[in-house]
Amino acid sequence: MRGFLACAMLAAMTSAAMTSTATAQVSDDAVRIGVLTDLSSWGRDNSGPGSVEAAKMAVEEFGPTVLGKPIEIISADHQMKTDVGVQIVRGWFDNGKVDAVVDIPNSGIAIAVHNMVRERNKIALLSGPGASSLTDELCSPNTVHFTYDTYALSKVTASAVIKEGGKSWYFITADYAFGQQLEKDATRFINEMGGKVLGGVKHPTNTADFSSFALQAQSSKSDVVAFANAGQDTDNAIKQSGEFGLVQGGQKLVGLLMFDTDVHAIGLKAAQGTYMTTAAYWNMDEATRAWSKKFYERTKVMPTMIHTGVYGSVLHYLKGIKAAGTDDPAKVMAKMRELPIEDIFVHGGKLREDGRVIRDMYLAKVKSPEQSKEPWDYLEIIKTVKGEDAFRPVSESKCPLLKK
């Protein structure tokens, strides 16, 4: 009798293992994640090689395999060119057996890939782009917008600056999808809070000379000069505005999208007092400091919110695959929406049906050189804004995936 029971138990265990193996399915016997980023242009410092390392750190934290299959990270440079980015991703899907595309700084490229991902039934894990339209009228069941967007950046920053007396605004805006969306979203919140936009000027990306734009902003006599651009464009614009004495003349400078690397490039002397909104900061607590120092050892920069977003989105994606027992995109996305988002930088985050990750955002002010106590100690966190208050509410959304 004892032998019979042992055999029965062994048979049951074998059957369960076979069932588990049958249900745990990974296409092409590997999970392949492609980091599409900027390795050579004006967004390199705030994404670029750091995004590749952040994805690798997520895999290391999760483990080298998922559902018994290896996890592979590959990367490519989209050069800030939409046609180049689309060609890379098409090749990844057609020949490289890539399951998910990560990062994609530059909203124009991100929108093109976001549409391709929906058509090909893959997954996009977006950390780099900011256009809020990605989870509004353009929303897709295959996209995760993990880190920030123009809606949250504009709302958090504009609200705070107007409360401090910055009523009249002038924009220096990058002339592409992200910059235009950022100015549009900021203008809305400025108007709603009783402020006024006096004007603005648009510039091509990767501009070296901002002198004429800075002079136009100065002559507007606005309370606030807002930079709706990113990367080296932001660095150059703020540096040159400082050289023309805008702050000394009483104007406030606002970086609607700024990163720690921008402050590093500009220097505290020129950037001090600038307002910005961020989704993460390296020096928040012991856990963020430990992770960031490990990241610094690999990259020689402290992580930006894009880097931490790549890390977090890849980690959550792998958790979704594990929970789903498959890498089937629909099932993985369902699990990613079901699971709370927990990592070093995000606590209690939630992936909404429209693809928007609802997470806390932080209003920050750049420290003066005297306030900085150590290298990369650049930001004073002024306020924590809950995700529900920072991002577009369901009631305002044009996304058909949200049940209102």
Q: What is the pLDDT of residues 289-347, one digit of tens each?
A: 999 999 999 999 999 999 999 999 999 999 999 999 999 999 999 999 999 999 999 99
Domain with residue 384: its CATH number is 3.40.50.2300
The closest of 360, 356, 361, 358 to 398, measured between CA atoms, is 356
Q: List the alpha helices (DSSP H) in 169-228.
A: 177-192, 211-220
171 and 214 share one domain: yes
User: Which range of residues forms the domain containing residue 371?
Assistant: 151-278+362-389
Whether 326 maps to a domain, the answer reads yes
Question: How large is the average pLDDT for residues 28-42?
Answer: 95
Residue 90 CB coordination number (10 Å): 14
Indicate the pLDDT class of residue 75, thresholds 50, 70 and 90.
very high
35 and 121 share one domain: yes
Indicate the pLDDT class of residue 19, thresholds 50, 70 and 90.
very low
Instruction: Tell me which amino acid residue 250 is.
Output: G
191 and 93 share one domain: no
Q: List the alpha helices (DSSP H) in 272-355.
A: 286-299, 305-324, 329-338
Indicate the pLDDT class of residue 96, thresholds 50, 70 and 90.
confident
- Last residue of a domain, which of 338, 359, 380? 359
Question: How large is the average pLDDT for residues 174-188?
Answer: 90
Whether 341 maps to a domain, the answer reads yes
- Last residue of a domain, which of 320, 341, 359? 359
Q: With 50 as the cut, is the pLDDT of residue 190 above it?
A: yes
39 and 82 share one domain: yes
- Last residue of a domain, which of 359, 380, 398? 359
226 and 269 share one domain: yes
Whether 12 maps to a domain, the answer reads no
Q: How many domains does the chain have?
A: 2
User: What pLDDT was estimated at residue 24?
Assistant: 66
Q: With 80 as the cut, is the pLDDT of residue 15 above it?
A: no
Retrieve residue 247's tokens. 């702050």
258 and 172 share one domain: yes
138 and 158 share one domain: no
User: What pLDDT was estimated at residue 14?
Assistant: 42
Indicate the pLDDT class of residue 176, thresholds 50, 70 and 90.
confident
**In Å, what is the CA distance from 196 to each residue of 56, 168, 219, 225, 253?**
45, 5, 16, 12, 16
What single DSSP character describes residue 341? B
User: From edge to edge, which strands make up the β-sheet containing 379-385?
Assistant: 196-203, 168-174, 224-228, 252-255, 275-278, 361-366, 379-385
User: What pLDDT, in 10s, does the model give residues 230-244?
Assistant: 888 999 999 999 889
240 and 271 share one domain: yes
Whether 201 maps to a domain, the answer reads yes
pTM of the shown model:
0.90
Whether 25 maps to a domain, the answer reads no
Give the integer Cα–Cα distance in Å for 161 and 251.
Answer: 12
Count Cβ atoms within 10 A of the Cβ of residue 279 and give its class: 0-12 exposed, 13-18 middle, 19 or more buried.
Answer: buried
Retrieve residue 95's tokens. 């020949």
Q: With 70 as the cut, is the pLDDT of residue 149 above it?
A: yes
The closest of 215, 185, 214, 217 to 200, measured between CA atoms, is 217
The mean pLDDT of the chain is 92
Find out whether 178 and 105 touch, Cβ atoms under 8 Å: no
354 and 369 share one domain: no
Whether 69 maps to a domain, the answer reads yes
**Residue 260 neighbours by CB under 8 Å, 6+ apart:** 281, 282, 301, 302, 303, 304, 376, 378, 379
293 and 340 share one domain: yes
Whether 107 maps to a domain, the answer reads yes
270 and 168 share one domain: yes
Whether 3 maps to a domain, the answer reads no
**Residue 17 neighbours by CB under 8 Å, 6+ apart:** none
Determine what percent of the chain is predicted with pLDDT higher than 70: 94
Q: With 60 as the cut, is the pLDDT of residue 3 above it?
A: no
Q: With 60 as the cut, is the pLDDT of residue 404 above it?
A: no
User: What pLDDT, in 10s, does the model give residues 128-144?
Assistant: 999 999 999 999 999 99
166 and 257 share one domain: yes
What is the Cβ-side half-sphere exposure of residue 72, based on CA atoms within 13 angstroms?
16
User: What pLDDT, in 10s, does the model give residues 62-72?
Assistant: 999 999 999 99
